[in-house]
Structure 1
Amino acid sequence: MSTPAMTQPYEGRFDSTSDAVYRKVSWRLIPLLFLCYIVAYLDRVNVGFAKLQMQGDLQFSEAVYGLGAGIFFIGYFLFEVPSNVVLHRVGARRWIARIMVTWGLLSAATMFVSSPMSFYVIRFLLGAAEAGFFPGIILYLTYWYPAARRGKATSLFLAAIPFAGILGGPISGWILQGMSGVNGWAGWQWLFLLQGLPTVALGVVVWRYLDDRVKDAQWLTPAERELIARDIAAEDAGKSEAKILTVLANPRVWLLALVYFSFVSGLYGISFWLPSIIKAIGVKGALDIGLVSAIPWAFGVVAMYLVARSADRRLEYRWHSAIAAVVGAVGLVLSVAFHGNAVYAMAGLTLATMGIMATLPIFWGMPTAFLGGAAAAAGIAFINSFGNLSGFSAPFMIGLIKDATQSTDAGLHMLAALLVIGAVLVLFVKPQAASPKKR
């Protein structure tokens, strides 16, 4: 028999019974999803560390590197929506496992790149293979958490991005420096191999461990499954369930896609170019660069969690996103202004990373507030794929700017401008779409 607390309609409260149930869910799901996104993000941006050796070994220009780093997102864009729709139909367990095994093998195969064309092809295929992973997880979290709890859960999942920077920087630097020449391979070749194969192993774990829906979770009691199902059903009653083409024609979806494009431009600008920027301000040696690069990401973890918790408590996402984006822009500008001082420049990059990272989990509270079912699968995937086109344009544009000016300063100013544009655009999102009401 259900307890009285479980038989009442969900009203956005945080009573001890509900807290215990969702804490149990988080301990079951978030650690694995967190690990999966760490390897996902490393596979996506380790090309930034590989550049420290790869560019010289293969004689790639800055523009060739930027295009190769960014072309990943073309494949990602083309296959994102179909992939997420398939996930909604066949279940997260099988589809996420398939995605991870495929992209892990392709990431490891990047060690065999020998020309610009082979670099472009493998990066495109890697993007196509990984398409659907991130929006699939965002969609998956809507199956388990109501909106009033989802921001915190999303922030814990997305904390994998800065943790990937904290762990990945030193590890990548050590691989580049310590493994160079082993078995006749360059350090950058070992980097792709050693960071690609763990993804395959985690894909197998996902296959055996994840449950597609709450009803499949035998590790929950019937009363606990009932509580979650009731919370999700109450929230879904206020969401739109529409045909895919209708969702893709929705002006709110396009507005959110433009906002996300602006925010993610800052993220990938930092992710791909941080090692090169740190090198430019005077830090030498791959391992030292990796250790220093962990600093901005460590502060980003704290900012992400605290801002997401504040947004959840207030059920307000627009102003939280806008302010965080402006803080990120200010940090980028300061990093350029203090280019000649390594300490102050790193302080600016750290502030930028904190602001940029804080925008991400609270942003995803907005589209998931009004999209449900297949509409959520298509809408979330489209917003994510469109936004991630900035992962193509930002590195490529910074590469062109650096080739022309021999500096990344103008490129960082461009990213700051995009963050400000995103901050302005997010304020045009209708409050009812950005702030789910308590039920």
Structure 2
Amino acid sequence: MTTQALPLATGAAGDALYKRVYWRLIPLLILCFIVAYYDRVNISFAKLQMQDELKFSDTVYGLGASLFFVGYILFEVPSNVILHRVGARKWIARIMISWGVASALMMFVATPFQFYAMRFIVGAMEAGFLPGVVLYFTYWFPPRRRARANSLFMTAISLSGVTGGPLAGWIMTHFAGLNGWSGWQWLFLLEGIPAVLLGFVVFFFLDDRPALAGWLAESEKRTIEADIAANESVAPAQHSLMRAFSDPRALFLSGVYFLILVGLGGVTFWMPQLIKNAGGLDTQTVGLVTAIPWLIGGLGMLAVAFNSDRSGERKWHLALCAIASGIGYAVSAAFPLDLIVAVAGLSLATLGILAIFPVFWTVPSTFLGGVAAASGIAFINSMGNLGSVFSPTFIGWVNDRTQSTQLAINVIAAMMVLAGILIVAFWPKKDTAKS
């Protein structure tokens, strides 16, 4: 019997089956991603204390924040290829345990060189987590359900922002001086430990593919596999490893993703400082206020992704979100000392950026399959993450020379608008994301 002859997961029965899959896989992966994002961006809160204590300039901070992504980029493609071969359960567990240990060791940095080295190592250890989960979802969900799965998973970015700011502010305020350590040192330690613990949970709880899931009946396993096979793009997916690096669509998506991650770097690594500058707030209050843009962004991301899945349309969802984000950045730059307007602008910027991700990551698997999907998704993410290298370094360098964030934020706003224009102008005439 061919997979196409098997019953497909459609209608109420299909929705019920995939609801079980969502609840089995996504809550754990959301929790993992929240912890990952804590360890990735807690440097933006640690900056509020460690920069003065260690006498780091904005340029040193920006370069150190960027070096995370250098390590991430160098190891991302091989990481995803290994995940495809050995399975998500073992490899995601390894990623989490190693990055948790490395992140906790950030508490001991004392010089710029140590700061640079440890940020690079944390990035290298975390390399492959996000593209690995995106790839993992292609084993479990057909294309028409992937934006929803991606959006549910990526609510972790918003949730980490909503909870991470207040948590970081609380740790840095209440643990400062305990055992002779500064608040920023406790922040790295206490937010590194959960990643290690969750790594062991992943190892014992996650299933690599439907065929290995003991909680599914045999008929349900075959139905999911048939559903995925029957709902792939009409154009045959490319499975060659080299095809992932030469397909014009992959190169186009890499360029667009570069611009998007320049935008993400602004809210990820500089939002606490921008809010502090606007309102003159203390560390704990800054942490609370940063939750507002992340909460609005998370809600908007879900709405955009669900609507994109319902309509099957991808291009205009992506383009309009990118342009909206650029407008939000421009507003925050125009009113740097007005806390309410600045937070409103940053909220729009965050919403636009976050809403892009779940829709964007439905696209590569529509024209890449097998090892090409594993390497292609990682390649696009790696090339895009050059934007994450550029963004914090550029902002820090400009801040040191102009003593203002306005010029750098306006440049980021322009790059987000450019991303939207490129999507409109050069999106393939046949919408490859449409299932």
Q: Which category describes the TM-score, using the shorter chain as reference length?
A: over 0.9
Q: 1:385-424, aligned counterparts within 5 Å? A: 385-424=382-421
- Matches of 2:131 and 2:430 in 1, distance apart? 22
- The yes-or-no answer on 1:286 pairing with 2:277 is no
State the shift of 1:283 in Å.
3.8
Q: 1:197-236, aligned counterparts within 5 Å? A: 197-236=193-232
SS in 1 for 2:279: coil
SS in 1 for 2:162: helix
Instruction: Pick which of 331-340 and 73-82 moved more.
Output: 331-340
Match of 2:358 among 339, 356, 361: 361
- Deviations for 1:75-116, whole angstroms, at most 9, x for unmatched residues? 111111011000000000000000110000000000000100
- Matches of 1:239 and 1:154 in 2, distance apart? 23
Residue 3 of structure 1 corresponds to: none
SS in 1 for 2:242: helix
Conserved in 1, the CA contact under 8 Å of 2:315 and 2:431? no
- Matches of 2:195 and 2:7 in 1, distance apart? 42
State the shift of 1:7 in Å.
4.2
Instruction: Pick which of 136-145 and 369-378 moved more.
Output: 369-378
Match of 2:434 among 414, 433, 436: 436
SS in 2 for 1:151: helix
Residue 378 of structure 1 corresponds to: 375
Residue 298 of structure 1 corresponds to: 295
- The yes-or-no answer on 1:22 pairing with 2:10 is no
Q: 1:174-253, aligned counterparts within 5 Å? A: 174-236=170-232, 238-253=235-250
Identity among equivalent positions (%) equals 50
SS in 2 for 1:242: coil
Conserved in 2, the CA contact under 8 Å of 1:166 and 1:298? yes
- The yes-or-no answer on 1:277 pairing with 2:274 is yes
- Taking only aligned residues, the RMSD between alpha carbons, in angstroms, comes to 1.4
State the shift of 1:239 in Å.
4.0
State the shift of 1:267 in Å.
1.0
Q: 1:121-132, aligned counterparts within 5 Å? A: 121-132=117-128
- Give the TM-score normalised by structure 1: 0.96
- The yes-or-no answer on 1:309 pairing with 2:312 is no
Conserved in 2, the CA contact under 8 Å of 1:318 and 1:431? no
- Matches of 1:121 and 1:431 in 2, distance apart? 45
State the shift of 1:407 in Å.
1.0
- The yes-or-no answer on 1:318 pairing with 2:315 is yes
- Deviations for 1:372-406, whole angstroms, at most 9, x for unmatched residues? 11110010000011111211110000000100111
State the shift of 1:55 in Å.
0.4
Match of 1:331, as an amino acid? G
State the shift of 1:175 in Å.
0.8
State the shift of 1:18 in Å.
0.1
- Deviations for 1:13-41, whole angstroms, at most 9, x for unmatched residues? x5100000000000000000000000111
Instruction: Pick which of 425-434 and 175-184 moved more.
Output: 425-434
- Matches of 1:168 and 1:46 in 2, distance apart? 8
- Matches of 2:303 and 2:78 in 1, distance apart? 34
Instruction: Give ranges in structure 2 of 5+ residues lacking alignment.
Output: none
- Deviations for 1:405-434, whole angstroms, at most 9, x for unmatched residues? 111111111111111121122231214353
- The yes-or-no answer on 1:338 pairing with 2:355 is no
State the shift of 1:436 in Å.
2.9
- Matches of 2:7 and 2:378 in 1, distance apart? 34
- Matches of 1:144 and 1:163 in 2, distance apart? 24
Match of 2:73 among 69, 77, 87: 77
SS in 1 for 2:337: coil
> Which runs of structure 1 show a deviation greater than 3 angstroms over 4 or more consecutive aligned residues?
6-10, 235-239, 431-434
Instruction: Pick which of 38-47 and 335-344 moved more.
Output: 335-344
- The yes-or-no answer on 1:156 pairing with 2:140 is no
Match of 1:230, as an amino acid? A
Instruction: Pick which of 62-71 and 346-355 moved more.
Output: 346-355
Conserved in 2, the CA contact under 8 Å of 1:370 and 1:433? no
Conserved in 2, the CA contact under 8 Å of 1:256 and 1:429? no
- Deviations for 1:256-292, whole angstroms, at most 9, x for unmatched residues? 0011111111111111001000100014111100000
SS in 2 for 1:159: helix
- Deviations for 1:124-183, whole angstroms, at most 9, x for unmatched residues? 111111111110000000100011111011001001001000000000001111111000
Conserved in 2, the CA contact under 8 Å of 1:236 and 1:372? no
Match of 1:424, as an amino acid? I
- Matches of 1:26 and 1:319 in 2, distance apart? 27
Match of 2:361, as an amino acid? W
- Give the TM-score normalised by structure 2: 0.96
